[in-house]
């Protein structure tokens, strides 16, 4: 389900035509999306810039053409890093860091989304950017899988964080699972799943927005 699929469904169930969101989720990802109705859509830019928290699964041993589990995999190394190596690498990727976003992203290059250039076989240069990783905690490690929790600034790509982790460990890595759990002060624990939002359609429709 794409982000626009969510909007289309909410339009149908609420009767509200003007609906927006504050940041897409990658096809691989699940979790929290902030939805805005009516005049609240004017605040999209504010909410898009909020910090975010994710729980991510990273697979070591190979790189992916897309940075995630959907791309073509290329084996890099079967070396098994120790847990303390993984923790140390995550620590080095914490704070203000430089990232180069993946070409399979919605960043516009020459007026067109980068992923469209990639799908057309065109080579483009992705500009690097400064981002902040506030927290980067190792939750679980059982080779080849790493589970981590990261709180990051807006514009941070967790796919790139996974690739950089694989580079630091010399093993290669790609993002194999991702859940967005927080956007600013908003938490997944407080969110409605889409089916619940359908059930609440009448109250959403009647609420003054």
Whether this prediction's pTM lies above 0.85 is answered by yes
* One pLDDT digit (tens) per residue for the chain, 209 residues: 788 888 999 888 888 899 999 888 877 889 999 999 888 899 888 999 999 999 999 999 999 988 899 889 999 999 999 999 999 999 999 999 999 877 665 666 666 666 676 676 677 776 788 999 999 999 999 999 999 999 999 989 999 999 999 999 999 999 999 999 999 999 999 998 888 877 666 565 555 44
Domains of the chain: 1-50+185-209 (no CATH), 51-183 (3.30.2350.10)
Q: How far is CA 127 from CA 79, 107, 108, 114, in A?
A: 31, 10, 11, 11
Q: Is the Cα torsion angle 4, 5, 6, 9 positive or negative in sign? A: positive
Give the integer Cα–Cα distance in Å for 160 and 67. Answer: 7
Among residues 5, 26, 68, 189, the one annotated as catalytic is 26
Q: Is 26 a catalytic residue?
A: yes
């Amino acid at each position: 389900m794409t982000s626009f699929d969510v909007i289309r469904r909410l339009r149908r169930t609420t009767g509200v035509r003007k609906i927006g969101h504050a940041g897409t989720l990658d096809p691989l990802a699940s979790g929290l999306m902030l939805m805005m109705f009516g005049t609240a859509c004017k605040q999209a830019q504010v909410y898009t810039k909020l910090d975010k928290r994710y729980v991510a699964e990273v697979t070591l041993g190979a790189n992916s053409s897309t940075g995630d589990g959907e791309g073509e995999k290329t084996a890099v190394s079967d070396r098994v890093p120790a847990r303390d190596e993984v923790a140390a690498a995550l620590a080095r990727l914490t704070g203000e860091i430089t990232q180069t976003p993946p070409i399979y992203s919605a960043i516009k290059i020459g007026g067109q989304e980068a992923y469209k250039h990639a799908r057309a076989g065109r080579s483009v240069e992705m500009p690097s950017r400064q981002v902040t990783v506030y927290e980067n905690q190792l939750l679980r490690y059982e080779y080849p899988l790493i589970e981590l929790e990261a709180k990051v600034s807006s514009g941070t790509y967790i796919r790139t964080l996974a690739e950089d982790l694989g580079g630091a460990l010399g093993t290669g890595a790609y993002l194999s699972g991702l859940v967005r759990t927080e956007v600013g002060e908003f938490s997944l624990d407080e969110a409605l799943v889409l089916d619940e939002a359908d059930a609440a359609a009448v109250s959403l429709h009647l609420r003054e927005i």
